[in-house]
Structure formats: C-alpha cells, structure tokens
Structure 1
C-alpha cells in the first residue's frame, strides 16, 4: 500500500499538525494537546463533554478531535455523508469546525487526514503565512 493510501492513525494527527510551520502546542487542563498557529487553535483533542455522547449508552465520547475547516460549506461536505467519520453537535453550530472520534480515524487514509490537517492550519493561519505555505505547496487539481 502506498504511504498516502494507508489508514490514518492518531499519531498522524500529532505529526501532521507539528509538521506545519509556526505551530505551538498548548495543553488543556486535562493535558489534552491544542495545536495552534499564531495563537489560534486549528486542531485539538477535546475532553469528554455532554454534547458528544454514545447514542446507545449515553456515555461521553472520550476521544473527540476537533479540526477547523475553511468554511461552512466545507463543514457540511464533511458531516452530511452518513458514512463519514466526521460529525458535529449543536454546540458547534455556526463554528467552522468538525469533530472526529479517534476510534474512527482509521476510516480515513493518511492522504485524507493530511488534507484535513492542512486545511485546518490554512483556515487559522495569517494571510502572510497562508500565502507563503501555498507558494511552497501548490494545490494540484485532478
């Protein structure tokens, strides 16, 4: 299997986020990592919250990862497909982000996860940093 086609892992989120330029890591009260660019979060590991629960047991999901997205239409594209591992909750209405359970990350390829993390960074980075990164990493269209 080609490296980009292999299944994604949680470790890939950390590596990809840290691989973007000008990234710092903060840690929440529970020690959960929050990846930031210019002081703005773009990926973070969320603590269990009452808005993201198992529908069968009512237990809070302990493994939710939040990714910023460029726009509401990007968000809808990721969460509207019932087969998608991405989801949202009413708590995130009007917020340009999507949620993903770490336990479902293997439903994505490394290539797909890379795009999500890069888009998250691009959606939060300054215009100067975004322009510089895009010059070095031109987006190819099929």
Structure 2
C-alpha cells in the first residue's frame, strides 16, 4: 500500500525533480510526470485533490490501455484524460515497489537525455 509520502520520497530521489510549491505535483526540467488527481465529486462544485489517487504520465495510449486492462483495481482513467498519455493510480492498491517503477518510467519520459544517461550510469 502506497501513499503520498511514498510518492514524494520516490519522486524526489530521482535527479533534478522538483515538487510544485502550490500543489502536489512533480516535474523535471519543467515537465510534469506525476501529480495529484483533481476529482470533481459533485458536478456543480470545483475539483478537489483526492490524496488516494495519483496521475502518472505514460508513454502513449498503448501503454495506458495495457495498464487499464492489466489491473482495473489499480489503474483507471476519466474523460478529462481521454487521449492524454496519463493513467490514474489508486495508491492504496499498489506497493511502493510498483509505485517506484511507475514514477521512474514517467520521469524517464520527461527528463533530459543527459540526465537519464547519468542516472543509468550511477
């Protein structure tokens, strides 16, 4: 079972990652790779952060569909993310090891090649 503290710890261990000051979000070189899901519990009210769900960037629609099919208890999407390369992750349903893999893969999609090379060599 993972939570936001696990997300923060894992994300900030990756090179050149910054946490947003105004929301729960992580980026490298100004490109976001993981952020808190803003849920709209009531159609007439504004969105609010759901601390049990994380949005994580994926490579493409194929990877997104593969994750959705692999384990709907862990992964889902919503119309807001239609045709966007990101998956919604239920944090209580995944292990910290699974979270580390998801975050590292998402980071690799956004990090500069030189940073990835240095990370892989370390």
Q: Is the 8 A contact 2:58 2:64 kept in 1?
A: yes
Partner of 2:24: 33
When you count strand as a share of all residues, which structure comes out higher? 2
Normalising by structure 2, we get a TM-score of 0.80
Question: Structure 2 CA distance, aligned partners of 1:128 and 1:11?
Answer: 28
**Structure number with larger C-alpha Rg:** 1
Question: Structure 1 CA distance, aligned partners of 2:20 and 2:79?
Answer: 26
Aligned with residue 74 of structure 2, among 85, 91, 105: 85
The alignment covers a number of residue pairs equal to: 118
Normalising by structure 1, we get a TM-score of 0.70
Q: CA RMSD in A?
A: 2.5
Q: Extract structure 1 runs of 4+ deviating beyond 4 A.
A: none
Q: Is the 8 A contact 1:78 1:84 kept in 2?
A: no
Question: Structure 2 CA distance, aligned partners of 1:75 and 1:135?
Answer: 28
Runs (5+) with no aligned partner, structure 2: none
